[in-house]
């Protein structure tokens, strides 16, 4: 499954092949990436996140077609990308990272509307990336809400 360069990216170098919770592992890989982006100028972070989204659409789409499944569990680039984006644009601090991680995983697993709708109705690489993008927006909204209340 890792024989194509797109699959190597989509599986985040093999992290997606972990037998227990590959999506959670993929999200954990995104944390240090997000912290590095958090330290960069906002324009750089935004450009990297946008470019990585485009790369993810391609890599996840190619890998989904090659695997024969819409969103194979081993495809974790979407979780890595979304978690990195959540951390990159969150307020700094360990609590924000923890809440962002837990909230993102909750929204990604439970898939409340419209995340579940996107997951079921938007095809290929764009759909694989978009449902995690929306889960990331939900997580980021929760992080900022708690931060504004002074709880982070």
78, 127 Cβ separation under 8 angstroms: no
Specify the pLDDT at position 131.
Answer: 97
79, 16 Cβ separation under 8 angstroms: no
Sequence spans of domains, the chain:
5-148
Specify the pLDDT at position 111.
Answer: 96
Q: How would you write the pLDDT of the chain (152 residues) with one tens digit per residue?
A: 667 899 999 999 999 999 999 999 999 999 999 999 999 999 999 999 999 999 999 999 999 999 888 889 999 999 999 999 999 999 999 999 999 999 999 999 999 999 999 999 998 999 999 999 999 999 999 999 999 999 98
Q: What one-character DSSP code corresponds to residue 91?
A: P
Specify the pLDDT at position 54.
Answer: 98
Specify the pLDDT at position 34.
Answer: 99
**Dihedral (C-alpha) 88, 64, 16, 42: value to the nearest 10 degrees?**
-10
């Amino acid at each position: 499954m890792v024989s194509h360069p797109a699959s190597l990216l989509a599986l985040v170098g093999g992290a997606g092949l972990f037998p227990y919770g590959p999506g959670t592992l993929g999200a954990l890989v995104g944390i240090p990436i997000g912290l590095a982006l958090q330290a960069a100028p906002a324009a750089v972070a935004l450009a990297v996140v946008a470019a990585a989204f485009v790369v993810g659409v391609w890599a996840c789409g190619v890998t989904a077609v090659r695997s024969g499944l819409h969103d194979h569990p081993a495809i974790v680039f979407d979780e890595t990308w979304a978690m990195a984006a959540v951390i990159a644009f969150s307020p700094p601090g360990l609590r924000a990272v923890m809440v962002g991680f837990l909230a993102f995983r909750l929204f990604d697993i439970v898939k409340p509307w419209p995340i579940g709708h996107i997951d079921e109705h938007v095809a290929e690489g764009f759909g694989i990336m978009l449902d995690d993008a929306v889960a990331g927006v939900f997580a980021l909204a929760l992080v900022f809400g708690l931060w504004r209340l002074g709880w982070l």
